[in-house]
């Protein structure tokens, strides 16, 4: 299919920015990043590993790059576990691709994005986590290998509270 066969994307009233979120596992533990205090997004909050998809990357390559950049780890069995569409503004949102991967080791490189740590999924920090982290991590952990990726839609209500809807 040619580029011109894609249509004029400038005419579409809604656009998505592609991002990845990766839950990296070693044995039974999951790797989380506590955002640096000066970070614009999720400062001092625990989250998985991830970031923006760069031009020329597919989402899996972006996930592997983000893991390498933020942790120094190489991973195996990278698998797409879910896709979340997040309405941010009336004309744009975020397409969040949620992955799981297995780390080849536990040795971490220092991250400029914050403090890395391995956690048992049953003993996550009680607070200081990104709001949807417990839900997304549960979905990733409870998925059978043959399950298709989950789909979800997030929006913010008039009080700026997150509401999430997961497709059946």
CATH (domain of 88): 3.90.79.10
Q: Does residue 54 form part of some domain?
A: yes
What pLDDT shows up at residue 125? 85
What is the value of pTM for the model shown?
0.92
Read off the pLDDT of each residue in 66-71 and give the average, rounded to a whole number: 97
Q: Across the chain, what does the average pLDDT equal?
A: 92
d(CA 66, CA 79) in angstroms, rounded, equals: 15
Read off the pLDDT of each residue in 82-93 and give the average, rounded to a whole number: 94
d(CA 44, CA 59) in angstroms, rounded, equals: 26
Residue 19 scores a pLDDT above 90: yes
Read off the pLDDT of each residue in 89-117 and give the average, rounded to a whole number: 95
Q: Does residue 127 form part of some domain?
A: yes
Residue 5 scores a pLDDT above 70: no
Q: Does residue 3 form part of some domain?
A: no
Total domains in the chain come to 1
Query: Residue 151 sits in which domain range?
Result: 13-158
Read off the pLDDT of each residue in 112-135 and give the average, rounded to a whole number: 92
pLDDT cut 90: percent of the chain above it: 79
Q: Does residue 163 form part of some domain?
A: no
Residue 9 scores a pLDDT above 80: no
**Cα 122 to Cα 33, 47, 87, 131, distances in angstroms:** 17, 15, 30, 17
């Amino acid at each position: 299919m040619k580029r011109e066969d894609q249509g004029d994307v400038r005419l579409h009233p809604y656009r998505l920015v592609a991002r990845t979120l990766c839950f990296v596992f070693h044995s039974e533990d999951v790797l989380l990043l506590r955002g640096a205090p000066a970070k614009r997004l999720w400062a001092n909050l625990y989250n998985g590993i991830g970031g923006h998809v760069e031009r020329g990357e597919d989402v899996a390559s972006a996930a592997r790059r983000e893991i390498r950049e933020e942790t120094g780890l190489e991973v195996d069995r990278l698998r797409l576990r879910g896709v979340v569409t997040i309405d941010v503004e009336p004309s744009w949102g975020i397409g969040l691709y949620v992955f799981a991967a297995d780390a080849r080791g536990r040795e971490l490189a220092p991250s400029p994005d914050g403090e890395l740590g391995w956690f048992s999924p049953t003993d996550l920090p009680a607070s200081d986590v990104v709001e949807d982290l417990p839900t997304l991590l549960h979905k990733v952990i409870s998925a059978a290998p043959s399950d298709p990726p989950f789909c979800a839609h997030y929006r913010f209500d008039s009080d700026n509270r997150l509401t999430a809807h997961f497709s059946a």
